[in-house]
Structure 1
Amino acid sequence: MNRLPDSAQEMPLVSHLTELRTRLLRIVGAVLLLFAGLFYFSQEIYALVAAPLRAYLPIGATMIATGVASPFLTPFKLTMMVAVFLSMPIILHQVWGFIAPGLYQHEKLIAVPLLISSILLFYGGMAFAYFVVFPIMFGFFASVTPEGVAMMTDIGEYLDFVLTLFFAFGVAFEIPVATFLLIWVGIVDVASLRKSRPYVVVGCFAVGMLLTPPDVLSQTLLAVPMWLLFETGVFFGGLVKKRDTEQREVIEPESEVQPNAPPYP
């Protein structure tokens, strides 16, 4: 058997690496372009993100900056993260362009809605954290502040705190997509997931305990949506699995051979 030259054997790998590098450069370029456009508004962006906490600060209290460079570096860091979050559709599009050639047609039909829903769910999780969780949580923190203690939060610590929650809720809202994929691929079935529902509920509260501040309120605000999103993924995963089964039954011809049937006359 003739052996292909080494250059011909390495060419597919080299081409994949070249395409990967190109798409990574596009992602970095998109993030930097968005960052360049948003940097002028970095102070306004930070003021918008800090609004849920500032609304519950006592009269006369303000946020503080304990680091020398914090007034500049903190809005800079936030603007960079906002650029990454806003470029998420571009990032996922580049990822999709890299893996799409290796997928079958029926896999592509499922993958495109999953990508779109992943983006919307991630943004939905961040919006839920900002508009629902932050006001409740910061209002609770302000109400339990001991008398004689001034509630004045460092801007750097606040940014790390809210970015963690944004990421936690964004990832948590991806649970329907993950559950759907597990069912669709066949790793688990709907019946098994429904039987494991009590363990899932406990796991949601455990994740909420790890990803949120040490208070029951914020843990519950993360755990309950995670459980509801899990149920949503199980529901839609069951519908698609049932439809695929029905389509296979229609397409695949059933064998009607009867071994003990008498011969024709």
Structure 2
Amino acid sequence: MTNTSIASRNKIRIAQQFSRAANTYNSAADVQLDIAFDALAYLPSHYQNGLDIGCGTGRISQQLSTRCDRLIAMDLAFGMLAYAQKNNVVADPSICWLQGDADCLPLADDSVDMLFSSMALQWADNQQKVMAEITRVLAAGSNAILAIMCDGSFKQLNDTWLNIDNHRHVNNFATAQSWCDAARSQGLQVNMQEKRYVTWHQDIRKLLSSIKSIGANVVLKSQNLEPTDARLHQGKNLLNRETLQHLETYYQQKYAENRQLPLTYQVCFLHCSK
């Protein structure tokens, strides 16, 4: 299978899984909301034309729309966009909802002066292509604020799975520095910060459910490795009672504090200017 077809299939799976999670996302995505609000703090002023890449259910898009005259809220998952449009309390004529891919933004060159993305770009398989597209659509003097999951995320879960079998059940996240380098290679000025967030869960089922409920339970295939399609809720061969018990026991013994299981989100914040 070619790299192109693998990437295309990954995108289809990502879009499908997040679309399925649209109805449960807001109730489960507490840490994602915290991260997005932290990212918003890097936006100091008002803009004319904004772009929100990976807008999801539109919670942050509504915040962003108060900071720009016009906002394009874009997501790969049509189900997320449909939910966002249907469930926004007040219809906002300044927001345009758009299905699109960060690898190939459906926008003209130099068309936005503010670009925002929180917890979406880690799904991209080509950092250089994404940053080239971001640079292309940014007008001179504009800003991009990007919050991206990076290396170190889900480290406890990955370690626990590695104790059980040889399959890959957690995605390999790129390093913060590699994202920073990709942005700088396109000529952007970049300031980078990293921050660690930890969520706590009563047991392994609730921990895995916290990932599934936001649609993030897709393990991407690569040209080098064809892993089990580890959608964490399916397949008795993958998550039978015995496997769950092994996960629970190891996780509790190695990582539990006060009988709660931690899950780490390592996030890099890139403030880019053109």
Q: TM-score, normalised by structure 2?
A: 0.22
- Of structures 1 and 2, the one with the larger relative CO (CA 8 A, separation 6+) is 2
Structure with more helix by fraction: 1
Rg (Cα) greater in structure: 1
TM value normalised by structure 1: 0.23
The structure with the largest strand share of the pair is 2
